[in-house]
Amino acid sequence: MQQTTIVLRDAGHAVHVLNHFGSHSGDGPVIGTLRRNPLLYFIRLSAARAAVVHYHHAGRLSLVVAVALALRRNRNARWVITVHNHSVESHLARPPAARIMRWALNRFDQIVAVSSTIGTYLEDHGVTTPIVILPAYVRTPTPRPTAVAHWRPSAFFDRPGETLVVAAYRVSPLDSRGDLYGVDIAAETFVALAKERTDLKLAIFLSNAPRGRRAKRYLRFLLNQITPEIRGRVGVWTGEQLLPALRPRVVFLRPTQTDGDAVSVREALELGVPVVASDCTTRPAGVTTAKVDDVRAWRVLVGKKLTELGDGRVPSVASSSTGSDCRTTGEQHVLELYSSQLDHRSPLIGTPPDATLQAVCDAGGFLPEE
C-alpha cells in the first residue's frame, strides 16, 4: 500500500489510508484505523467520500462481508478488492462459507489477484467479477536502504559474519505444530548451521509483541532451545523496520505456513538478498523454495546460500523476478487499474466528495486532485 500510495500521489491523486491494525500517528496518508472490527469497516466505508475504494483482503470472512455490505450503501464509488492471501481458498472450499464469500466477491467492481493461481481458483469457484493479475508489489526508485537513526539492530548487524533474517507479524503458535510464520523453522535452521558456522547470526523481526500467555511461552520455548553458547548470536526485535536489514551478507527466510505475495520477499530480491521461502504459495522467480516442515531441506538450502555468500556469489538485482523494467511497468499497471475504475464510475450525486482515499491498508480509494 505504501508503494501504491507513492505511485498514485506522484501521478497527482489524493490518497488516504485506513489501517487494518493498530494506531496511527496522524502523519502522511494514514487517516485512521479499523482494528479488524467488521462494524468499523461497515460504518467508515459506507460513508467513504472517494472515487475509488480499494480493500485489500487478508483473511477474515467477516471483514470482506462487512465491506460488501458497505458497498451496497455507497454506490458513488467504484469498489476494488485485492486478494493476496490463500485463506480465500479455504472459504471457497466449504459451504456455507463458500456461498457467503462468493456473494461478497461478486459485489465488487474489480478483483485484483496477486497471482494467476489465485485468479484461476476464483474463476473456477463461481466468482464472476472481472479479475486482473497484479503482484502486490510496485518497485519504486528508492536507493538501497541504510540503517535509520536509532535503529536498534544496527550494532547486531555490524558484527562480523552472515545473518539469517526472518520476519513475522507476531509469534502465532499453531494447535498442530510450529508457528504460523515459521519462526520455529528459522530457529531450528539456525541451530543446525551455527554449529559449524561460528559467525552466523539469527535476526528475528516481529511487527507486534507476542499477545497472550501462549504466544509468550512459545517464544520463550523457542529461544530456550538455542543453547547458551550460540544464544548470544540471536537478536529479537519488535516494531523495528525490516528494510535496513536487507543488506549484503544476509539470507532472508520466509518459512510461513500460509502466504499471499509477500512484499518483503520482493524487496529482498530487488536488493540482491537471497531468499529461501516456503512453497505454500507461488513464489517469484529467483526464490529458493522448501517445504515448510522439512527442516533438513531448510538446512541444506540455507547452507548453500550462505556458502554462495561466502564465495562472493550473490544474486544480482537484475535476476530479481520483479524484472529490470518492473518499476515502469508496475507503475503503469497500477495507474491503468485505477484509471479504468474512474472511467467507469457513475456521476456523483449531490456534493462532490472530498479529495481523499478511504482505504484499508488493506482498504483504499482515491480521487484525482482538482
**pLDDT of res. 27:** 61
Integer angstrom CA distances of residue 359 from 64, 70, 140, 156, 187: 13, 13, 21, 37, 36
Radius of gyration for the chain, computed over Cα atoms and rounded to the nearest angstrom = 21
- Integer Cα distance of 91 and 39 in angstroms: 21
- Tell me the helices (H) and strands (E) count for the chain, helix number first: 13, 14
pLDDT of 25 reads 56
Please state whether the predicted TM-score (pTM) of the whole model is above 0.85: no
- The C-alpha cell that represents 67 in the structure block: 465491506
For residues 50 and 57, give the distance between their C-alpha atoms in angstroms, rounded to a whole number: 19
Q: What pLDDT sits at residue 146?
A: 55
DSSP string for 20-43: SSS---S-TTEEEE-TT-HHHHHH
**Cβ distance 133 to 122 under 8 Å?**
no
How far apart, in whole angstroms, are the C-alpha atoms of residue 69 and residue 357?
Answer: 19
Predicted local distance difference test score (pLDDT) of residue 354: 35
Residue 352 to residues 32, 46, 120, 261, 367, Cα–Cα distance (Å) = 22, 16, 38, 36, 11
Round to the nearest angstrom and report the end-to-end CA distance of the chain.
23
Residue 272 — left, alpha, or beta (φ > 0 → left; ψ -120 to 50 → alpha)?
Answer: left
Fold observed for domain 2-139+323-368: Rossmann fold (3.40.50)
pLDDT at 317: 39
DSSP state for residue 280 in the 8-state scheme: S
* Number of residues that make up the chain: 370
Provide the pLDDT for residue 319: 39
Instruction: Identify the pLDDT of residue 13.
Output: 86
User: What architecture does CATH give domain 154-319?
Assistant: 3-Layer(aba) Sandwich (3.40)
Q: CB under 8 Å to 210, separation ≥6 — which residues?
A: 170, 171, 216, 218, 219
Spans of all domains in the chain: 2-139+323-368, 154-319
So what's the pLDDT on residue 293?
A: 86
Instruction: Give the model confidence (pLDDT) of 55-92 as tens digits.
Output: 999 789 999 999 999 999 998 899 999 998 777 888 99
Task: Note whether 2-139+323-368 and 154-319 share their fold.
Answer: yes
Q: Which residue has the cell 464469500?
A: 101
- The whole-angstrom separation of Cα 127 and Cα 119 is 9
Half-sphere exposure of 292 (CA within 13 A, CB side): 18
Pick out the chain residues at pLDDT < 50: 143, 316-328, 347-370
Tens digits of residue pLDDT in 160-179: 999 999 999 899 999 888 99
